[in-house]
Amino acid sequence: MLFHVRMDVKLPLDMHAEIANEIKAREKAYSQDLQRSGKWRHIWRLAGEYANFSIFDVQSNAELHDILTALPLFPYMSIAVTPLCHHPSSIRDDDA
């Protein structure tokens, strides 16, 4: 199942830089492991925002929920999820 996910990050203004950097490092490692596994298929930064658009390829809504709630930055995010379906006019068979 494919999902389009928008993640907006809002760290507290009074968060110490070393704490923020440690959380971001854990987030990067976790997201890169998911990318290598094929579950996090794409990630794009949104220019001028602390946000991203991502495509996840997972088995279920529950699996996506578990992945998202395990993100180290999850407590500081607002997330919008949109389920995706293969479009009949698409020439790509790998996005079904």
| 40 inside domain | yes
Question: What is the reported pLDDT for 94?
Answer: 73
C-beta of residue 27 within 8 angstroms of C-beta of residue 43: no
Say if residues 52 and 45 touch (Cβ distance below 8 Å).
yes
Domain that holds residue 36: 2-84
Q: Is residue 94 part of a domain?
A: no
Phi and psi angles of residue 95, each rounded to the nearest 5 degrees, phi first: -110, 25
Which pLDDT value is given to residue 53? 98
Read off the pLDDT of each residue in 31-46 and give the average, rounded to a whole number.
98
pLDDT of residue 38: 97
Contact 64, 81 (CB under 8 A): yes
Domain membership flag for residue 95? no
Asked if residue 96 belongs to a domain, the reply is no
Percentage of residues in the chain having pLDDT higher than 90: 90
Asked whether residue 78 is domain-assigned, the answer is yes
pLDDT band at 3 (very low <50, low <70, confident <90, very high): very high
Q: Could you tell me if residue 55 is inside a domain?
A: yes
Q: Which amino acid is at 34?
A: L
Is residue 73 over pLDDT 90? yes
49 three-state secondary structure: coil
> Does 32 map to a domain?
yes
Q: How many domains does the chain have?
A: 1
CATH number, domain with residue 56: 3.30.70.1060
Q: What is the pLDDT of residue 67?
A: 98
Hey, is 79 helix, strand or coil? Answer: strand
